[in-house]
Structure 1
Amino acid sequence: MNLKIGDLVRFVEEPIEGHITSIQANDVIGVTDDTGFEIPVLKTKVTLVHGNMRMPEDELEESVSTANLPFIDKGIFIGVAGEQKNGVAKFYIINETSFELLVSVSVLSATKVTGVFGNLIPTHDYAQFYMANFATVGKWPTFHIQIIQHSKTLQPRQQPLNKEFRVKPLDLINSKERVEMLNDKVWLYELDKEEEDIGLDKLKSHFISHRPNK
C-alpha cells in the first residue's frame, strides 16, 4: 500500500484514526490522532481511509469570471495552519494572484530531494502539500519549492520561483494572520516578495551618509 504524509488511516487492531505525519525506517509510520500524539505503527497495521490533501482536480464550484478584474501579479504564500495543542500542522501553498501556478515541493536531504507535492494551483486558490506534528517542529524538513507562473493573457515575463523554506520553532511565537480562502488563521510566509538588492553603490552611500562628522 502506497502511503504518504497527510493520508487519513485507521488502525486494523484498534479503534484509532489519524493522519500520517512522518515516514520512519523499517516500514514504520507516525500517525497523529485527535489527542495530538504521534503513534508509531507498522504500515501493515493500518488501512487507508482517504487522503485529505486538497487537489486542483477535486470537483470545485464554477468560479466567477474574472475577465474584468485587475490582474494581480503578487501574492504567493505558504500558510501553516493548526493549533499546537492539537498536534497536527497543515502546510498550504496559497495563490492570491491571477496566475495559475505549476508547483513542485520537495524535501531536502543533504544534496538530494524527495518530492512530496506536484500539481497545478488555479488562480485565487490553494492546495495543501504537507502535514507534520507540532511536537517535532525542531525536526520539520527544509522544503525546496519551485513555482512557474502561467497566464493566458499578455503579462510581463516572470522568472520561475526557486526557494528553500523551513519553519523554525521561534516562528510560531509570531501571530497568525487570517486567510479568507482558508477560513482560518495561519502563520504566513510570502514566497514572491521582492528581495532588495543591496549593491556596492548602496553600501558605499550608506557608510558615507553615516560617517561621523569631524
Structure 2
Amino acid sequence: MKYKIGDLVRFVDEPIEGRITSFQNNDIVGVTDESGFEIPVLVSKITLVHGNMRHVDDEEVKTTSSLASNLPIVERGIYLGIEGEQRDGLAKFFIVNHASFELLVSISETSGNKVTGLFAEKVPRQDFVQFYTANFSTVGKWPTFHIQIIRASMQAHTAKAPIVKEFRVKPLDLIQSKDNDEIMDTKIWRFELDKPEENIGLDKLKDHFISHRPNKR
C-alpha cells in the first residue's frame, strides 16, 4: 500500500497509533504518536486506520438546513489552524470554518512545479477538520500547501470565487500569540484564508506616483 504524509496508521505488532510524518531509507517511515515522538518503523509493520465518517439522517439534515436559513449569513472566517504545544512536539493542522458556507477543500503539497495531494474533503459550516500533522522540531521543513476551496450555501449570498492560494507556515509565524477559537474550543495559531487580497489598482498606483513626483523648478 502507498502511504502519504498525514495518514493515520496502526502498528501491526504493538498497540500504537500515530500519523506518518516522514519517509526514510530502506522502506522505513516515521510515525509520530500523541506524545509527539517520531518512531521509525518498517512499512510492512503498519496498517492504515480508516476513520469513521460522520453520518446524519435526512430529518437531521432538514432541521439543520431550516435553522441555518433563519440565521444571518457569515461570509468570512475560513482559517488554517495549528494546534499543539512546541514542547510536546506534535503539531496538528486544521481547516476551521467559521463561515456559513459548506466548503469543498483540496490541499496538496508543492514541490517545484509539481503537487502531491494530501487532503480532499467537505468541511461543514461552523466546523473543523484535521488535514495534516507534523513535528515542531522540523518547522523549518514544513511543506508549502496548495489550497483550493469552493464555498457553497443554500442561503442567498454574494457569489464567491474559489479560493486558490499557496501557504507555508514559517518559524516566525509561531512567535505570535495563539487565538482562542470558539469552534475548536481551544487556543490555536490561526491564519485567515479568505481575507480579501489587497489590490490598489492601476489608477491608484498612477495617482501615487504623480503625487510623489518631485516638483520641477
TM-score normalised by L of structure 1 = 0.85
Quick check: 1:11–1:17 contact (8 Å CA) kept in 2?
no
Provide the residue aligned with 1:7 in structure 2. 8
Quick check: 2:147–2:164 contact (8 Å CA) kept in 1?
yes
Greater CA drift, 60-69 or 119-128: 60-69
Is 2:153 the partner of 1:157?
no
> Partners in 2 of 1:106 and 1:145 — Cα distance?
7
Provide the residue aligned with 1:134 in structure 2. 136
The letter of the residue matching 2:18 is G
Quick check: 2:19–2:31 contact (8 Å CA) kept in 1?
yes
Q: CA deviation at 1:6?
A: 4.1
Provide the residue aligned with 1:115 in structure 2. 117
> Partners in 2 of 1:8 and 1:84 — Cα distance?
23
Greater CA drift, 120-129 or 58-67: 58-67
Provide the residue aligned with 1:88 in structure 2. 90
**Alignment match of 1:104 (pick from 91, 102, 106):** 106
Provide the residue aligned with 2:185 in structure 1. 183
SS at match of 2:79: strand
> Partners in 2 of 1:75 and 1:38 — Cα distance?
33
The letter of the residue matching 2:160 is Q
> Partners in 2 of 1:201 and 1:36 — Cα distance?
52
Q: Deviations over 1:79-114 (max 9, x none)?
A: 011111111111101111111111100011111111
Quick check: 1:105–1:115 contact (8 Å CA) kept in 2?
yes
Q: CA deviation at 1:125?
A: 1.0
Q: Deviations over 1:155-210 (max 9, x none)?
A: 22111110101000111111110112112111100011012212233234345556
Compared CA separation, residues 10 and 99, structure 1 to 2 (3 A): same
Quick check: 2:98–2:183 contact (8 Å CA) kept in 1?
no
SS at match of 2:139: helix
SS at match of 1:84: coil
The letter of the residue matching 1:10 is F
> Partners in 1 of 2:213 and 2:113 — Cα distance?
44
Provide the residue aligned with 2:42 in structure 1. 42
SS at match of 1:85: coil
Instruction: Tell me how large the CA RMSD over aligned residues is.
Output: 2.6
Q: What's the % identity of the aligned pairs?
A: 56
> Partners in 2 of 1:105 and 1:73 — Cα distance?
21
> Partners in 1 of 2:44 and 2:115 — Cα distance?
26
Q: Deviations over 1:47-91 (max 9, x none)?
A: 45x356xx8x42479585222110111111100111111111111
> Partners in 2 of 1:128 and 1:25 — Cα distance?
28
Q: CA deviation at 1:8?
A: 4.2
Quick check: 1:31–1:39 contact (8 Å CA) kept in 2?
yes
The letter of the residue matching 2:191 is Y
Unaligned runs of 5+ in 1: none
Is 2:17 the partner of 1:20?
no
TM-score normalised by L of structure 2 = 0.84
Compared CA separation, residues 72 and 143, structure 1 to 2 (3 A): same
